[in-house]
Amino acid sequence: MMVALVQAGTAATSRVTAALQGFGLAARSVRFGERTAMIIDTDSPDVQEAVAGIDGVEKVSVTRDSYPLASRAVIGHDTVVRFGTGAATVEIGGKSPVLIAGPCSVENEDMLLSTARLVADTGGTMLRGGAFKPRTSPYSFQGLGVKALELLALARQKTGLPVVTEVMTPEQVPLVARYADILQIGARNMQNFPLLQEAGQAGRPVLLKRGPGATVQEWLSAAEYVLLQGNPQVILCERGIRTFETSTRHTLDLSSAVLAKELSHLPVIVDPSHATGRRDLVPAMAVAAIAAGLDGVMVEVHPDPDRALSDGPQSLTFESFARMAQTLARVAEAAGRPLEKKPLFAAAS
Ligand code: PEP
Ligand code: MN
């Protein structure tokens, strides 16, 4: 596979197309801001040399990766996912790691608003909360749907925190994109290709969870589906894989998260809640992710975890969340990437 990065909005892309025709080749073109990525199904040195010599062509890479647009070998710099405006601008993959937190599911207004206030006061960057829930059993709570999206919008308005929530089907994408700042693709849907394509066209950043049985290569190839829609705003999220171990819900594959950041230019965050399934293990794994240089963590927190309608055992209490946020702030500082916002209140409050 060959990728030519070409100055967008110039005649350069036409010149490349014409040169490729001479070799009997055609390119798939994807616009990323100032540049157009032209993907060519060849690794011929002759083609590479010819394309590299064309005016307006910045770089031509040959890669064996099945995910050229996600590949660091092709796009040589860290992608910073940026959204919001003015003081409310959020950056993921920039100089500070992000702390994303909230309940597994949006259950009602009170619990969402109290959790959102906690997250805002404790240095959180974003609020999470499920509206459409992918539950193993069809008899389990399936989420409040549109009502939950409205409550997330209310929580955003009251706290200023942007929100991330899962979208489960291609048909739901326009609806969820009206309310959410980031579209979450759940682990079970990592290879739902029509969903990835639709989400890639929604004009919102996409948070792509790794499937519990997916290799790093499959995960990055799934990201490629979104990138190929011309949406460079993808965040990768490691959330545990299935192993022989049954004492934790999944196994947090921290090494693969670090590897994904090496192989790809995309930001990588870690979800220690779904990875461990146990609230006692969440703070240590969150700290490990930040210390490992990853771009943030996403955790579940609930005002009364024992009564949560989903994922109570892995949901932090308010107190343990506040304590964890303090520790994360110190670790991030020590790692030379201080959190954007300092936790406002002390562990005991
Ligand atoms: C979630 O974050 O709400 C969720 C369902 O996670 P996952 O897709 O990783 O299981
Ligand atoms: Mn959950």
Verify whether ligand 1 is closer than 6 Å to residue 250 (CB atom): no
Nearest Cα to Cα of residue 103 among 285, 314, 280, 295: 314
> What is the rounded average pLDDT for all residues in the chain?
96
Q: What is the mean pLDDT of each run of 10 residues along the chain (349 residues)?
A: 94 96 97 94 97 97 96 95 87 97 98 98 96 97 98 97 98 98 98 98 98 98 98 98 98 98 98 98 98 98 98 98 97 94 59
Tokens standing for residue 16: 């490349």
pTM value is 0.96
Does 274 sit in the ligand 1 pocket, CB within 6 Å? Answer: yes
Can you give the pLDDT at residue 341?
82
Euclidean distance between CA atoms 78 and 83, whole angstroms: 16
Residue of 78, 87, 129 lying closest to 340 (CA atoms): 87
Domains of the chain: 2-62 (3.30.70.1140), 81-334 (3.20.20.70)
> Which atom of ligand 1 is found nearest the CA of 104?
3
Handedness of CA 163, 166, 170, 175 (dihedral sign): negative
What's the alpha-carbon Rg for the chain, to the nearest Å?
21
Collect residues with CB below 5 Å from ion ligand 2: 104, 311
What is the bridge-based pairing of β-strands 98-102 and 163-166?
unpaired
Write phi, then psi, for 71 (nearest 5 degrees).
-80, 135
Please tell me what DSSP assigns to residue 142: -
